[in-house]
Structure 1
Amino acid sequence: MLKSLKFISILQAYSLPNYLHTSSRYASYSKDCLLKLRKQTGFPFAFCKEALSKNGNDYEQAYNWMQGEADKRGLSKAGKLASRTMTQGLLGLLSTSKSAVIVEINCETDFVARNSSFQRLVSSSAHSIAHFFQNNASPKLLLDEDSLKSIKDLETDQLLPDSVALTIGSVGENMKIRRALCMRTEGSDSRIASYVHTSSSGVSTSFKDVKFGKYAACLVYRPSSQQNSGPTWNETSASICSKLCQHIVGMNPNPSLTLTKPVKNPDNEKCFFHQRYLLDETIKVADLLEQNEIVVQGFVRMECGTEEVYDTDDSDQEAKKVTA
């Protein structure tokens, strides 16, 4: 049974003290100088370490060295572009039958959303967040922008904001990791189906198992009884529930598992179970589920650029609209 989304602001597994260890890659440096340099410049920690080690732990010399070096590496662009509005971006979905991660990264233009460097950032961020989630006991998490700052990028071995800064430098456009949703099944017979929809032409469909799009949905389900579970049911239900995720994206039902009174005009129906199935309007969602012995335990829907994540929780049958 899925529980309510939880915000976490302190991720102990990747806390700042753990990140500030002395590396054999660089000479020793003062932690105070490192923190000051990071705060003043906004550049990645690894770059600040390098500056201090190459300049004898002298703050002024390190600062001056970084200004010239940052221009060469493109890092200075991140600071210059920080105030620019970001209205575009991508969702990255990484999922299995037992867990799913959706991450949203924003950028300024749809052109950059189609850029391979940006898509690699979305992919590496999704994998890194999934790795963090493996070590967290919660069945579901919604990570806000501040929470994501503490997670390390598995690909670059830097914190996620530092990887973003490097991508900004190479692409030349402002961007940020805005939020991420992590979820897993709790029962042995429960499964997760997912779907991501791309509305922009030219966007790659996936990279390293991470699917890209503007809309995403995940649905948690189980068989109506233990007798129904088996290879045939598993295959059939997985296909149906994946299509139901497509239905959730397209029909945008209310985030609730509660049965309400059907409305007179079916086109205005917002109750998930009473809605006509998107891919076959001759049947309602509830009838499709009953015919295939599927019980829906909850679903989530995310849209890139919106304020809410819509989630259901069958523990109390109440709709959850969580603002990130």
Structure 2
Amino acid sequence: MLPKVFARYLHIHSSCWAAEKSLLASLRKKTGYTFTNCKKALELHSNDLVHAEKWLNQQAQALGWSKATKLEGRQTTQGLVAVAINNTNATIVEVNCETDFVARNRTFQEMAEIAAQTCLRFTEQQSHITKPLTKINLDSDELCKLQAANGKTLSEQLILMIGSLGENATLRRAVCFKADNDIHLSAYAHPSGMQQNNVLLGRLGGLVAIRPKNEKEVDIEVLGKNLCQHVVGMDPKKIGTSDDEPASNVDDETCFIYQEYIVDDSITVNEVLNENDVEIVDYKRFECGENINNSSPLSTIETCQ
């Protein structure tokens, strides 16, 4: 039989260790950093979770700046496209990394989510815009300057992620739609179409803005999503008008309205629009890594009537 003092010591020690394990697990889950680093952070700060997390972020940021400098210039052709909608505001964002392995990492996915949510909030704040639809194009520099909900810029968030994952990453581009109440916005991402925190993620993504011409009863949600899938799958180069001549070969058609409808190739997109009495106001499609060696356009604001 164990002496009472020794038994009491074991009991106390076991309880302390259980509490430390709980703190360690909590810190790892919250920050995503390694077991060793989280354990060191807790030891340095007497198991104070708040100060341990702050120290980890400081270390990661310092390391991230160093790694970002070393990794700068390494090609980032992989990554994710993130799309998000909130009522009459929408955004599509491309975030790049070096490998598909990192693109599947939850920390990288969270970066894409934060970028999309930040762009969406930025769009919502543009209250001075009153046109039926405004399209705001953001290049990499403009994206990096946007402030996330936690007070950090997207550039600072990116540095933290680079410090954590050890691979080069870039915020490449974004397009934001701001519409009035008469325009319906739809979003779609492919191939995974995974959704986290109301953000859709994939290697390809699309936004479509459509407007009913009258009060005809239409399932606008389904129609919008199908047209968005069409944009992602068929890659139209322009909406097209009645002045455009349809291509002689349907496989070569680049006008949105004259392409075979992806949901039913026996009809064209234009026939679907006429049947439902709606019009396409604008759309945007991103494919991760496309034209990666081309310089990004400067930020612009376009309006549609």
The reply to whether residue 288 of structure 1 matches residue 272 of structure 2 is yes
Q: TM-score, normalised by structure 1?
A: 0.67
Secondary structure of the residue that 2:149 maps to in structure 1? coil
How far residue 146 of structure 1 moved from its aligned partner, in angstroms, is 1.2
Aligned partners of 1:214 and 1:304 also within 8 Å = yes
Tell me if the contact between 2:83 and 2:206 (Cα under 8 Å) persists in the aligned partners: no
CA distance in 1, matches of 2:115, 2:251: 38
CA apart distance, 1:313: 7.0
Are the equivalent residues in 1 in contact too, given 2:85–2:120 (CA < 8 A)?
A: no
Q: Gaps (5+ residues) in structure 1?
A: 1-68, 316-324
1:178 maps onto 2:172 in alignment: yes
1:224 and 1:91 mapped to 2: Cα distance? 31
Deviations 1:145-165 (A, max 9, x none): 11122211213x211111101
Listed one character per residue, the Cα deviations across residues 7-39 of structure 1 (whole Å, up to 9, x for unaligned) are xxxxxxxxxxxxxxxxxxxxxxxxxxxxxxxxx
In the other structure, the counterpart of 1:4 is none
Task: Work out which of the residue numbers 214, 239, 251 in structure 1 matches 2:222.
Answer: 239
CA-atom RMSD in angstroms:
2.5
Q: Distance in 2 between matches of 1:283 and 1:128?
A: 39
**Could you say if the C-alpha distance between residues 168 and 128 of structure 1 is closer, same or farther in structure 2, counting changes exceeding 3 Å?**
same
C-alpha distance 70-97 of structure 1, shift in aligned 2 (>3 A) = closer
Match of 1:141 in 2: 136
- 1:250 paired residue among 207, 212, 233: 233
* Higher Rg of the two aligned structures: 2
Give the 4+ runs in structure 1 shifted more than 6 A: none
* Residues 306, 313 of structure 1: alpha-carbon distance in 2 compared, 3 angstrom cutoff: farther
Q: Deviations over 1:95-119 (max 9, x none)?
A: 1342211111110000000000000
Task: Report what 1:98 is aligned to.
Answer: 88
Identity of aligned residues (%): 33
Return the alpha-carbon distance in structure 1 between the equivalents of residues 183 and 257 of structure 2. 19
Kindly tell me the number of residue pairs found equivalent between the two proteins: 235
Residues in 1 aligned to 2:183 and 2:125: alpha-carbon distance in whole angstroms = 20
CA distance 1:313–1:275, shift in 2 (3 Å) = farther
- Tell me, which stretches of 5 or more residues in structure 2 are unaligned? 1-57
Q: Quote the Cα distance in structure 1 between the aligned partners of 2:182 and 2:258.
A: 25
TM-score by length of 2: 0.70
2:209 aligned residue (214, 220, 226): 220
**CA apart distance, 1:257:** 3.1
Residue 162 of structure 1: aligned partner: 156
Match of 2:249 in 1: 265
Identify which of 202, 206, 213 aligns with 2:195.
Answer: 206
SS at 1:273 equivalent: helix
Note the 1:1-324 alignment, pairs <5 A.
Answer: 70=59, 74-75=63-64, 76-136=66-126, 137-138=128-129, 139-155=134-150, 157-186=151-180, 188-198=181-191, 205-225=194-214, 227-228=215-216, 232-233=217-218, 236-259=219-242, 260-307=244-291, 315=305
1:250-286 C-alpha deviation (Å, 9 max, x unpaired): 1111223323112222222222111111121111111
